[in-house]
Every structure is written in structure tokens, then in C-alpha cells.
Structure 1
Amino acid sequence: MGKFNLGESLKNLREEYKKIYWPNKKEVYHVTVIVILITIFIALYTLLFDTAFSFVLTNVSNIIKNFIGGA
């Protein structure tokens, strides 16, 4: 392993920095809208399945309690 060269490191850093793609305002806006819509969709999907699962478990639990004769 060679010695650390600050000048070479800064040169490499500058070269890599030039390769970075910076999105414009329109692209950032579109991606933000997409992320928000996907987040809302996943939240509604989770709410739907959580509510349905809770409903099913409550009814199954009540049926078992009535069958066993619990309180």
C-alpha cells in the first residue's frame, strides 16, 4: 500500500464529483409525488388488511368462546 497523497485524493474527489447526476426541480417534484402516492397506497392497503384480519379474529374468537361455553 502506497503513501497517502492529498493532491491525488483531491483530484480523484473532483473527478468523482463531476460524475454525480443532479436532478432538476421538475424531476424532484415528480419523484416526490410518486413516493407520497406509494406511501398512501401502502398505508391504505395495510389498514384494509389489518381491519379485515382483526374482524376475522374477533369473530373466530367469539365463535370459539360460544362453542366452549366461556364467559
Structure 2
Amino acid sequence: MNAGDLLLVTRAASPQFVRPIRFRLIRAHDWPTYHGWVWLDGYQLDAQDQAVTRRTIYVRRAGLVRADG
């Protein structure tokens, strides 16, 4: 994962995402956490991929999907 990546965040990444969101990554924190989980800073995007709100989310790396190819 790199800054600028577009991610699709679903329940596979965390149970809180009942409705998937598109997320533009700013950075992945190196904070200590459970194995396979990570804190991410970025922007939640709308249907036109415009930033709606800045968020910090806690997700499983294995559940993230790159949405930008």
C-alpha cells in the first residue's frame, strides 16, 4: 500500500463496514497493533471519487482490495 492508492473497504477488512466505502490512502501508521491489522489515514470518497471526509480506520490488511487497478 502506498499513499494515493484507492482502496475498496468492505466487511472483509472490518465488521464495521457493512456498506463498502472507497478510500484514498494518505498513509499507513506503524502503530503497534494485532498481527495483520493496520491503522490507515485517508479520505472516504463519494460515487465520483471526490473526498467526502477524512478518516482514520482500523482494518485487516488481507481484507483490503485495490480499486485503482
- Give TM-score, length-normalised by structure 2: 0.14
Structure with higher strand content: 2
TM-score, normalised via structure 1 length: 0.14
- Structure ranking higher in helix proportion: 1
